[in-house]
Amino acid sequence: MPEFFIAPGGLRLIVEELPHTYSVSLGCFIGAGARHEAPVRSGAAHFIEHMLFKGSQRYPTARTISQTIEGVGGLLNASTSYEATVYYAKVATIHFERSVQLLSDMLLHPLFELHEIEKERRVIIEELRGLQDAPGDWVHDMLQQTMWAQTPLGRDIAGNIETVSLLSRNDLAEFWQRHYNRSNIVISVAGKISAEQASAAVSAAFGNLSDGMPTASQPCPSPVAGPRLTLMSRDTEQGNFCLGLPGLAYNDPDRRPLQVLDSVLGGGMSSRLFQTLREDHGLAYHVGSYHNELSDVGMWVVYGSVEPEALRDAVALVLETLRELVRYGVTDEELAMVKEQVKGGLLLSLEDTWSVASRNGAHLLRYGQVMPVEQVVAEVEAVSAEDVRRVAARLMRNDLLHLAVIGPYSEEDARDLEALLAESF
């Protein structure tokens, strides 16, 4: 079991000893992301994530930062989401102190040099432009905008070209000072290291963190009323679609039945969507589903890429598959198989030190504790076929249904798709 420490000053640290491994992973979880930005500063959290790799007090250049970890065979990376930003390193155990010193200096003493900000601004703008050249990815962002409109969840995590162009050094520094503090950070360590050694190193390296205040929770957004279609006509080789419904928060009591339901619907080659659209009808090579959980809401998405002329048939089959789940639920065979799939996937994911550190840190940031694997397995085992059918009926409603499409389509095609969406569950 992981050991939880409150370091002097209140820094939260969790350590899981994995003596059978040869590596140790360190993650710094900041409870702030794109959802906590003012609209005119959209993209600030993601911009800061980039800038922390461009120079700090002891490691003044991007090359110095990368070589400190990559030069000893380690991995260094970060990610920004709507509610958190994560920085992490994975190294051989003998280089743990090095990773602690680097990450602490990056988070506590970034330089935010003006010339580096301007260089990175151009990189991020190109990143945003590049998304438009990848319709299979862009359609997911379009669905966010379709469902959540002008709320923070309707904006790209990286912002847009206009807001990124206007972000100043003061904007970045102010967001960093407000959120990168002791009250808003969780440190997670997992690997071949003792809890005492990890605690001593982290406490010393992060001892100068400012106290600060936890990031304030945001009001729960309301999705735009459906059914709603957003269609972008582009001369593409495939028709790309995302069909979405508001999902569940990560503390919702129905999250396990939804996990099972999502796996039945689009979780791999044995799922209903894969079998129906690809194996039975040959309409799609790429099809699946996923569920994103946030503190107060979620998003459940079905996605696919098809030959342009097959789009209407593919969407119709997806909707019919959803209706069948509402009307008839899942079979006993499906339920048993998916339970084993969910449990097996969870257990396999815990073989890597960063996977363990990531899970522990995310749980501590979200719930204030780490949910034991045994508890998760027991909750999945307890899901009944009636639970799955009930959650399907709870979420699958026409007034919550949204569809985003990119492809070579006309207004007449849009009307056909709107007619499909109007059919009742």
CATH number at residue 44: 3.30.830.10
Residues 148 and 260 reside in one and the same domain: no
Examine residue 325 and state whether it is found in any structural domain, yes or no. yes
Residues 12 and 148 reside in one and the same domain: yes
Question: Could you tell me the residue range of the domain that residue 398 belongs to?
Answer: 228-422
The pLDDT score that the predictor gives to residue 122 is 97
Helix (H) or strand (E) holding 338: helix 332-348
Residues 186 and 323 reside in one and the same domain: no
Burial 324-362 (b: 16+ CB within 10 A, else e): ebbeebbeeebbeebbebbbeeeeeeeebbbebbbbbbb
Residues 134 and 24 reside in one and the same domain: yes
Residues 159 and 267 reside in one and the same domain: no
Q: How confident is the model at residue 5 (pLDDT cuts 50, 70, 90)?
A: very high
- Average per-residue pLDDT for the chain: 95
Residues 261 and 113 reside in one and the same domain: no
**Measured distance CA(89)–CA(191) in Å, rounded:** 12
Cβ atoms of 117 and 176 closer than 8 Å? no
Cβ atoms of 189 and 203 closer than 8 Å? no
pLDDT in tens, 357-402: 999 999 999 999 999 999 999 999 999 999 999 999 999 999 999 9
Residues 190 and 324 reside in one and the same domain: no
Cβ atoms of 89 and 75 closer than 8 Å? yes
Residues 156 and 66 reside in one and the same domain: yes
Cβ atoms of 114 and 88 closer than 8 Å? no
Examine residue 261 and state whether it is found in any structural domain, yes or no. yes
Q: How confident is the model at residue 25 (pLDDT cuts 50, 70, 90)?
A: very high
Q: Which whole number is the average pLDDT over 307-327?
A: 95
pLDDT in tens, 225-263: 989 999 999 999 999 999 999 999 999 999 999 999 999
Q: pLDDT at residue 9 above 90?
A: no
Residue by residue, DSSP assigns 63-85 as HHHHHHHHTTT-EEEEEE-SS-E
For Cα atoms 349, 351, 357, give the angle at the middle one, nearest 5 degrees: 80
CA 204 remoteness from chain centre:
31
**Measured distance CA(223)–CA(245) in Å, rounded:** 9
Cβ atoms of 273 and 314 closer than 8 Å? no
Cis ω before 372 (30° cut-off from 0): no
Q: pLDDT at residue 346 above 90?
A: no
Instruction: Find residue 136's DSSP bridge partners.
Output: none
Examine residue 70 and state whether it is found in any structural domain, yes or no. yes
Q: Give how many domains the chain has, as a whole number.
A: 2
Orientation angle between helical segments 311-328 and 411-422, nearest 10 degrees: 10
Rounded alpha-carbon distances, angstroms, from residue 101 to 8, 157, 276, 361: 18, 28, 52, 19
User: Which residues have a Cβ under 8 Å from the Cβ of 283 and sit 6 or more positions away?
Assistant: 277, 306, 307, 310, 313, 314, 317
Examine residue 146 and state whether it is found in any structural domain, yes or no. yes
Residues 290 and 141 reside in one and the same domain: no
**Measured distance CA(194)–CA(3) in Å, rounded:** 10
Cβ atoms of 289 and 267 closer than 8 Å? yes
Residues 140 and 248 reside in one and the same domain: no
Residue 386 annotated as catalytic: no
Residues 128 and 249 reside in one and the same domain: no
* Residue 420, Cβ density class (10 Å: 0-12 exposed, 13-18 middle, ≥19 buried): middle
User: Which 3 state secondary structure label does DSSP give 360?
Assistant: helix
Examine residue 222 and state whether it is found in any structural domain, yes or no. no
Residues 152 and 249 reside in one and the same domain: no
3-6 and 12-17 strand pairing = antiparallel
Q: pLDDT at residue 148 above 80?
A: yes
**% of the chain at pLDDT higher than 90:** 89
The pLDDT score that the predictor gives to residue 349 is 84
Examine residue 140 and state whether it is found in any structural domain, yes or no. yes
* Residue 256, Cβ density class (10 Å: 0-12 exposed, 13-18 middle, ≥19 buried): buried
Nearest CA among 117, 126, 148, 136 for reference residue 34: 148
The pLDDT score that the predictor gives to residue 7 is 82
| Active-site hit among 16, 17, 49, 293 | 49
